[in-house]
C-alpha cells in the first residue's frame, strides 16, 4: 500500500480555493479516486452529476474529516443510532443516516430520506475537508458504467481538463469502495 505524503500548504490552498469557488476536484480516497465539491453548491454538484452522467435521484455520499463535521446530522438522531454510526468511524464505512431535519440539499440526498456519510481516515481526504471547513461530496471518479479510477492517469483520461484540480496523493490500500451500512436496519447495502 502506498502512503500519501502530507499535502503541502500550497496544494491545500489551491484545492480549498477551487472548492470554495464552486469547483470540482479529484482526489485519492481509501480505495479509488473520488470527485468532490461543496455539497451546498448546486452548480458544483450538477457539474459532478454531468461529468459522471449520473441522475440526481441516486444521491451521493458526504465525506468528512471528523465527527465534528457531521455532528449536526448525528445530533438529530437517537443516541443509540449516533453510537452505531460513530463505532464505524473514522474508516472506510459509509453509514446511511436518517436526515431527520432535512439538512442536506435534495441535490445531494437524491430521492432518499437518508444521507450517506463517511468520516474518512485517509490523510488526503481529511486534509481537504479540514481545509474546506466542511464535509464534501464524494463520489467515485468515473463516468457511469466505467470502472472507478485507481490512478491519476485514469482521472485525466476520464475527465481531462474538465476538473478544477487534481489533488496529488496515493490511494489508501482498500481493494473496494467503502461498505455502506444502513444504521437503522443494520443492513449492509454494499
pLDDT at 175: 76
Question: What distance lies between CA 47 and its chain's CA centroid?
Answer: 15
Cell reading at 174: 482498500
Count of residues in the chain: 190
Spatial strand order of the sheet with 25-28 comes to 165-166, 25-28, 33-37, 136-140, 61-64, 114-119, 93-98, 179-182
Q: What is the mean pLDDT of each run of 10 residues along the chain (190 residues)?
A: 69 96 97 97 98 96 97 95 95 93 94 95 96 96 95 95 95 82 86
Instruction: Report how far residue 12's alpha carbon sits from residue 59's, in angstroms, rounded to the nearest whole number.
Output: 27
Domain boundaries defined on the chain:
9-182
pLDDT at 7: 84
Whose grid coordinates read 496544494?
A: 11
Instruction: Report how far residue 91's alpha carbon sits from residue 108's, in angstroms, rounded to the nearest whole number.
Output: 21
pLDDT at 1: 42
CATH class, 9-182 region: alpha beta
Amino acid at each position: 500500500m502506498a502512503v500519501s505524503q502530507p499535502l503541502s500548504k500550497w496544494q491545500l490552498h489551491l484545492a480549498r480555493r477551487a472548492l470554495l469557488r464552486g469547483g470540482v476536484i479529484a482526489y485519492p480516497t481509501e480505495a479509488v479516486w473520488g470527485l468532490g465539491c461543496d455539497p451546498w453548491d448546486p452548480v458544483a454538484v450538477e457539474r459532478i452529476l454531468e461529468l459522471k452522467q449520473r441522475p440526481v435521484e441516486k444521491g451521493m455520499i458526504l465525506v468528512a474529516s471528523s465527527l465534528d463535521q457531521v455532528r449536526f446530522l448525528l445530533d438529530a438522531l437517537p443516541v443509540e443510532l449516533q453510537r452505531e454510526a460513530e463505532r464505524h468511524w473514522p474508516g472506510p464505512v459509509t453509514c446511511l443516516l436518517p436526515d431527520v431535519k432535512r439538512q442536506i440539499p435534495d441535490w445531494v440526498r437524491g430521492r432518499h430520506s437518508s444521507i450517506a456519510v463517511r468520516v474518512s481516515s485517509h490523510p488526503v481526504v481529511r486534509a481537504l475537508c479540514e481545509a474546506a471547513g466542511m464535509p464534501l461530496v464524494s463520489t467515485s471518479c468515473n463516468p457511469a458504467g466505467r470502472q472507478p479510477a485507481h490512478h491519476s492517469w485514469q482521472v485525466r483520461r476520464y475527465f481531462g481538463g474538465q476538473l478544477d484540480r487534481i489533488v496529488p496523493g496515493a490511494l489508501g490500500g482498500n481493494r473496494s469502495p467503502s461498505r455502506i451500512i444502513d444504521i437503522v436496519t443494520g443492513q449492509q447495502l454494499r
